């Protein structure tokens, strides 16, 4: 479908727009929206910043394009989990899928984390499009253990917890790199993270009544400085 008949001269090795998006994604993910300069992005691509404006109206448009591309990448696999009854093994599948997605492409989690901390353009849409769908109280919880979850009103909290668990692995990984003595994004680490997360889910499901409000109102260990 793509012609690209003649080999480009010394001009553009590939689609510049795509290369800008790649570079911008990496930089926005690492430094956030504000701390990333368009000159930096341009430099990473190998052009000067004014040239970048031939492809994107401004910095914000570039950022939104990056977001859009990332959300699209995640949309399809998530959609697949959206139909049919929810069983234990389907929950495991869901976990498995998002762990692998974030592992294979950590930048969405990083951008979401930046947005959660600092805000920035499009944060509202981000919430609506990425978080809202997975937080809606789901009437499809059919198994007894799962139904308890849904009816106790705990479901969104549990979803949040597991989602945080998965995303923070990606966003905090650099901190643990040395401590673990293993590349957090290697194959072996992925398997370990998968096993751990799966174990947690199974454990909490089996635990059952767990969800119930039957928890002692916290013993309050030692003094914790409140804000003055």
Partner DNA sequence: TCAAGAGGCGCGATTATTCACACTTGGCCC
Partner DNA sequence: GGGCCAAGTGTGAATAATCGCGCCTCTTGA
Scanning residues 92 to 111, which ones bind a copy of itself (CB under 8 A)? 93, 96-97, 100-101, 104-105, 110
Which 42-71 positions form the footprint of a copy of itself (CB under 8 A)?
Answer: none
Binding of residue 4 to a copy of itself (CB under 8 A): no
Q: Are 63 and 34 in contact (CB under 8 A)?
A: no
Backbone angles phi, psi at 223, to 5 degrees: -65, 135
Question: From the list DNA, a copy of itself, none, which binds 185 (C-beta under 5 to 8 Å, kind-based)?
Answer: none
CA angle 29, 33, 36 (to 5 degrees): 85
* x/- letters, 42..61, toward DNA (CB under 7 A): ----xxxxxx-xxx-xxxx-
Q: Are 82 and 140 in contact (CB under 8 A)?
A: no
Question: Which span (3-11, 139-147, 149-157, 192-200) binds DNA, by CB under 7 A?
Answer: 3-11
Among 19, 64, 73, 129, binds a copy of itself (CB under 8 A): 73
Question: From the list a copy of itself, DNA, none, which binds 30 (C-beta under 5 to 8 Å, kind-based)?
Answer: a copy of itself
Q: Are 78 and 146 in contact (CB under 8 A)?
A: no
Q: State which residue, 59 or 103, has the beta carbon closest to DNA.
A: 59
Q: State which residue, 10 or 226, has the beta carbon closest to a copy of itself.
A: 226
Q: State which residue, 39 or 174, has the beta carbon closest to a copy of itself.
A: 174
Q: Are 92 and 201 in contact (CB under 8 A)?
A: yes
Q: State which residue, 35 or 196, has the beta carbon closest to DNA.
A: 35
* x/- letters, 163..182, toward a copy of itself (CB under 8 A): -xx-xxx-xxxxxx-xxxxx
Which structure tokens are listed for 147? 């139904």
Which residue in this structure is represented by tokens 């974030």?
A: 102
CA distances from 151 to 53, 131, 146 (A): 52, 20, 9
Helix (H) or strand (E) holding 107: helix 107-118
Q: How many Å apart are CA 163 and CA 128, to the nearest integer?
A: 15
Q: Which residues bind DNA (CB under 7 A)?
A: 1, 5-6, 8-12, 15-17, 36-40, 46-51, 53-55, 57-60
């Amino acid at each position: 479908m793509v012609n690209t008949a003649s080999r480009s001269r010394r001009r553009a090795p590939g689609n510049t727009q795509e290369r800008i998006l790649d570079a911008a994604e990496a930089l926005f993910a690492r430094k956030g929206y504000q701390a990333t300069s368009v000159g930096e992005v341009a430099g990473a691509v190998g052009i000067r910043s004014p040239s970048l404006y031939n492809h994107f109206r401004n910095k914000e448009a570039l950022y939104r394009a990056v977001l859009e591309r990332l959300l699209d990448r995640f949309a399809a696999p998530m959609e697949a989990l959206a139909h049919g009854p929810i069983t234990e093994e389907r929950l495991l599948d869901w976990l498995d899928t998002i762990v692998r997605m974030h592992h294979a492409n950590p930048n969405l989690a990083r951008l979401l984390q930046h947005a959660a901390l600092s805000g920035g353009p499009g944060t509202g849409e981000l919430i609506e499009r990425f978080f809202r769908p997975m937080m809606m109280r789901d009437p499809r919880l059919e198994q007894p253990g799962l139904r308890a979850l849904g009816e106790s009103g705990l479901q969104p909290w549990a979803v949040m917890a597991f989602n945080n668990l998965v995303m923070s692995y990606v966003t905090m990984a650099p901190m643990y790199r040395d401590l673990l003595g293993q590349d957090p994004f290697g194959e072996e680490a992925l398997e370990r993270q998968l096993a751990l997360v799966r174990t947690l889910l199974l454990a909490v499901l089996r635990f059952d009544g767990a969800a119930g409000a039957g928890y002692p109102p916290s013993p309050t260990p030692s003094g914790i400085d409140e804000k003055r």
